[in-house]
Amino acid sequence: MNNKRVKNDDRKVISFIPNGEFYYKKALQAMEKDSLKDAHKYLKRATELSPNDPLILMQYGVLLMEEGQFHDAHKFLTSAYSLNPDTTETVFYLAEVHAHLGLLRDAKFYAEKYIALNPEGPFGDESMEIIDFAEQQDALREEDEEQDEEAYYLQEKARHYMETGKFNEAVELLESIITDYPDFWAAYNNLALAYFYIGETEQASALLREVLENNKGNLHALCNLAIFYYYEEKDAELQSLLALLMKIKPYLKEHRYKLGATFALIGKHKEAFNWLISLQKHGFDGDAGFYYWLSHSAYFTGHEAIAHSAFAKLIEIDPTKEGYEPWLDIEGEIEPDSVEQDRDFLLGKIGNTYRSERMLGFYLLGKSGHQQEIISHPSYIDVEKLSLLEKLFLASGLRYQLTAETEFDQSFERALETTELLYEQYCPLNYEATHLFQMWFSICESGLTREYGFPNPPALASAADYMFQSARYSGVTKKAIAEKYGISVPTLTKYVSELVEYLPHLDT
């Protein structure tokens, strides 16, 4: 037993100290398993242990570039190049990272050097694409300098028309722009959107195809076409186009934003988040739309802190978006199976034959997480065909400020206040409660048409609630309903008798 101990104690212990090569190999193994987080960790350690190994520096730079960290990637790729300027892979990746940073002259220089060093190399096609892209941007800059300033002024005017819903005016103006400036592709893309919003979907798609025939690879046209396919439920065409969009790695910030927003709108949240967060990491100061889509894509990819931060920034820019956070219908503040969150139910109401049903649909749209999607769709709501009452309830749902200037306006405000009191009692709505609101909106339509003043909203809400419940359930008392709304039983009785006059009656 003692001899065994002596034998063990006499063994030589060889300590193993891992070097950069060790961690580099572990990083390659991690990448084979698609474990990029581990690969990043190992490569970072490898560069610390072997700071003069050009292969390790290059590989880490490539990984950083794939993560969207272009400035850091540039640093490591430049270091690798200084150690070995003839490594063709490093030369190509320098071309790519310069393109991502918008340094197109340098990108073209390295792409041309790659082709000179390795004309039959595996990155030959990608290098030619970088060269072509850089030359196209040079040509565009020259065109921009020569382009009549009036074209840009008119383009901005047309965009303003679209943002304010004046699509017919936008169409007329944009058509004149492309007639006078046949190579002004931004005007073509906006005209296609304007056509789409007025329901001319075939003409919109045809115009985008014309753009792509004459300006191959126009990213805005490709993204707009994907959105059209999504809304028209052309799944086969959409999937084919998505396969192409997912391969595109745009260099300009504007293009990355467009691609990210497009992916977010059609539900490709992972791809959307990757593009949008990479923009934010590099100091991109986005508009309200940017933070809206970043919040959504972040939330639905599990980055909740980023989602909350982005939405907070959105609220700073546009306070009217408060209440439309993407997590509300997930975290229980708005129940996902409530009527307000039932897209098909809302579309059924909005497209209903009866005006009072449409009024209800527009009101509930203001409570729904589907608001943005439904409002953006060109064929769901034709504002020009809506009656005054429908426009008023739609405007209230969208939180537009309404000013009471006439007796009718004041009556509408009181009718809306009554509706809100009822909603507070029943939100989120289940399908049983919609019968109450269907009855109430029938009363609203009749009362507003016949110039009823809708005095005393709490009493009116109480009366409507009592009329609904007493007709369906036994044991309902006026006292209990009156107390719920803070009024007296005689007042409740008075307003029940008034509202009965505005219930729809069957012809005999």
Instruction: Find, among 455, 500, 462, the residue nearest to 480 by Cα.
Output: 462
Q: DSSP state, 69? A: -
Question: Residue 297, SS3?
Answer: helix
Q: Which amino acid is at 274?
A: N
Instruction: Find, among 386, 385, 373, the residue nearest to 344 by Cα.
Output: 373
**Distance between CA 155 and CA 174 in Å, rounded?**
7
In 10 A of CB 276, how many CB atoms?
A: 29
Residues in the chain where the model's pLDDT stays below 50: 1-16, 145-146, 329-336, 506-508
**Distance between CA 440 and CA 468 in Å, rounded?**
9
Report the C-alpha dihedral over residues 356, 360, 361, 367, rounded to 10 degrees.
170
Tokens encoding 203: 């003409």
Instruction: Find, among 495, 404, 485, 416, the residue nearest to 448 by Cα.
Output: 416
Q: Which amino acid is at 403?
A: T
Contact 56, 24 (CB under 8 A): yes
pTM to 2 decimal places: 0.49
**Number of helical (H) and strand (E) elements in the chain, helices listed first:** 27, 0
Q: What share of the chain is helix, strand, coil (3-state, %, to 5)?
A: 70, 0, 30
How would you label 12-46 residue by residue, b for 16+ Cβ within 10 Å and e otherwise? eeeeeeeebebbbebbeebbeeeeeeebbebbebb
C-alpha distances in Å from residue 219, one per residue of 138, 265, 465, 507: 17, 16, 54, 59
- Side-chain half-sphere CA neighbours of 246 within 13 A: 11
pLDDT for res 431? 81
**Distance between CA 374 and CA 381 in Å, rounded?**
8
Contact 372, 399 (CB under 8 A): no
How would you label 285-318 residue by residue, b for 16+ Cβ within 10 Å and e otherwise? ebeeebbbbbbbbbbbbebeebbebbbebbbeee
Dump strand ranges (E) for 13-75. none
pLDDT for res 333? 41
Question: Residue 316, SS3?
Answer: helix
pLDDT for res 65? 83
Q: Which domains does the chain possess?
A: 20-144 (1.25.40.10), 148-248 (1.25.40.10), 251-314 (1.25.40), 339-500 (no CATH)
pLDDT in tens, 435-487: 889 899 989 998 888 889 998 999 999 999 998 888 887 788 889 999 989 99
Question: What one-character-per-residue DSSP string does 126-193 give?
Answer: HHHHHHHHHHHHHHHHHHHHHS-HHHHHHHHHHHHHHHTT-HHHHHHHHHHHHHH-TT-HHHHHHHHH
pLDDT for res 457? 92
Tokens encoding 166: 């004046």
